[in-house]
Amino acid sequence: MTSHDENALSDAVPRSDLPQEEPALAAPEPAVPQDEAAPSDQWPDELSPLSDPPPGPAAGEEPQESPTRLQAELAAMRSAMEQCAKMSREAVETAARCQRDTAALQNRVLQRHALHPAVRAAGALAEELFRLADLARSARAVVTGCPISDPMIEAALVAEQVAEDHLAGLEAERIMPEAGADLDPGRHKISGTQFTDNPAQHATVASIVSSGLTYRGEVLKRARVLVFQCRGAACSDANSNKETGHENA
């Protein structure tokens, strides 16, 4: 063995005659106060962990809604449906009212331009028949037993009745005020005056010149009448009262 090998072996094997280095001691851990000791398994009330959440719906199940929330949603839906129903009723009523107004307007236009002229023509023809019947009555009072006039008088009276029936079928009526009736400017037209000394008869109907005509309540032709006119000292107050529209009590 060479000197080099001996030196290498001596380096590898520790020698007992050399002083051994003692290991360093670890520093002691500081003491922990009793009140700062590590927490135990018991949590204080204010630091207790949250409770476990309620179990969620199982797979494939719908989440459960709160009954109060469902009731509120149902109430809101019911209110909305009632509002829609109300609006629908109002719309139907408005449409029906528009249809009625349109139909009434069309009827008035049709009556004014088509029916009124026809009714006026029928009324004029009936008026002539009525006048003929009046003449026939006057002739009957004078002539009786005549084989020529009697059939004509009967025919005139029959024609008068036919004219009355046809006017009724057209919903037309004659305006025939009686003597002594109050004058109505909307239905009567003054054709002349007849003098009287009775203050009570002043400005009232004396007689009819020709009858008027109404169709479904609308005046198509006013009746032509003669009106009483009071003359004399006793009639002066009546005239002034009639003109002003006030009568003495």
Instruction: State residue 106's pLDDT score.
Output: 75
Residue 143: CB atoms within 10 A of its CB come to 12
Matching residue, tokens 């008035």? 108
Please tell me the CATH superfamily of domain 174-244, with its number: Head domain of nucleotide exchange factor GrpE (2.30.22.10)
Residue-level pLDDT, tens digit, the chain, 249 residues:
555 555 544 555 455 555 555 555 555 555 555 555 555 555 555 545 555 555 555 555 555 667 788 888 888 888 888 888 888 888 888 888 888 888 877 777 776 667 778 888 888 888 888 889 889 888 888 887 888 888 888 998 999 899 989 888 888 999 999 999 999 999 999 999 999 888 888 999 999 998 899 988 889 899 999 999 988 776 766 555 555 444 443
Over the stretch 80-96, which tens digit does the pLDDT of each residue have? Answer: 888 888 888 888 888 88
Instruction: State residue 188's pLDDT score.
Output: 95
Rounded Cα–Cα distance for residues 239 and 241 (Å):
5
The residues that bridge with 225 in the sheet, in sequence order, are: 190, 208
Q: Are strands 188-196 and 223-230 parallel, antiparallel or unpaired?
A: parallel
Residue 163, token pair as written in the block: 């004219």
Rounded Cα–Cα distance for residues 77 and 99 (Å):
33
Q: Judge whether 194 and 231 are in contact, CB under 8 Å.
A: no
In this structure, the chain runs to a length of 249
The residues that bridge with 175 in the sheet, in sequence order, are: 212
Structural domain boundaries of the chain?
90-170, 174-244
Over the stretch 112-152, which tens digit does the pLDDT of each residue have? Answer: 667 778 888 888 888 888 889 889 888 888 887 888 888 88
Instruction: State residue 223's pLDDT score.
Output: 93
Rounded CA Rg of the chain: 61
Sign of the CA dihedral running 209, 210, 215, 219: negative
Residue 146, token pair as written in the block: 């005549």
Sheet (strand 218-221) strand order: 172-175, 212-215, 218-221
